[in-house]
Amino acid sequence: MTLRFDPFSVARTVALAPVLAPLLAGALALPTGALAAPARHAPVHHASAPAPVPAVAWVALQTDQGRIVVELDGAHAPVSVGNFLHYVDTRHYDGMTFYRAMHLDWGKQPNGLLQGGIRDSRLLFKPIAHEPTNQTGILHKAGTLSLARRAPGTAMADFSILLADMPGLDADPAGTDPDLKLGYAAFGHVVEGMDVVRKIWDQPRSATLGEGVMKGQMLEKPVKVISARRVPEPPPVAAPAPAPAPVP
């Protein structure tokens, strides 16, 4: 499973190297250029063609810990959003789990990501084309959804929700590493339920599950997504009322 600065350049190489490979992907750290995602057999499921991709869509993920609503940017990341909605509309995300909580002990807290996806390869569709952030303009900020992958062009169903800004996951066209320079494909963000994301991220983690840098990041009890459905645009969150002025 899988993490990755210009003033960040040297710092990224030194400080983030141990976590880049496993951050958004779902398995082991692999050599540079082969960032890992969960190992899956070739998908065998066939379904009707995906529906047209809207400019923006909202999906509610009802988990056994509460509801998370995400906003998907189909105008700027149509391939990634179309893929996500295809899993939603075919109900293949029903029963998926959040299974990994990466905690980083540096930077502003909380820092890390929550990763989930489909464990049954029979429910997977074919991999999709990679949409780098320098093309979409969607950056890796707190609350961002980003696709897990091995090499670019291998992403399927697994995705992560970021707990903090992670600019090292954005594309770096000037970079020297042919894989990291493409970054990861961000395609939406959480608009409701970041408290639920944090609650799941804070669940107990196994000391033995996972391998390599992922050891200790796997949830003891993966959190199930009961249903994933398109929903209307949620109402805007009301700004908190200003504090009353002190009485003279």
Q: What is the pLDDT of residues 95-113, one digit of tens each?
A: 999 999 999 998 889 999 9
Residue 193 pLDDT > 80: yes
Supply the mean pLDDT for the chain: 83
200 within some domain: yes
Residue 214 pLDDT > 70: yes
47 within some domain: no
Residue 7: its pLDDT value, please? 30
Question: CA–CA separation, 140 vs 207, rounded Å?
Answer: 28
Specify the pairing of strand 66-73 against strand 186-192: antiparallel
Neighbours of 107 (CB within 10 A): 12
Q: Which of 71-85, 176-190, 216-230 shows the lowest per-residue confidence on average (mean pLDDT)?
A: 176-190
Residue 125: its pLDDT value, please? 97
247 within some domain: no
Confidence band of 213 (pLDDT split at 50, 70, 90): confident
* Phi and psi at residue 224, to the nearest 5°: -85, 140
Q: Give the list of residues 6+ apart from residue 94 with CB closer than 8 angstroms, or none.
A: 225, 226, 227, 228
Answer yes or no: are the C-beta atoms of 172 and 144 closer than 8 Å: no
Residue 27: its pLDDT value, please? 33
135 within some domain: yes
244 within some domain: no
The structural domain count of the chain equals 1
3 within some domain: no
CATH code, domain carrying 32: 2.40.100.10
Q: What's the domain range around 104?
A: 9-38+55-231
pTM of the full predicted structure?
Answer: 0.80
183 within some domain: yes
236 within some domain: no
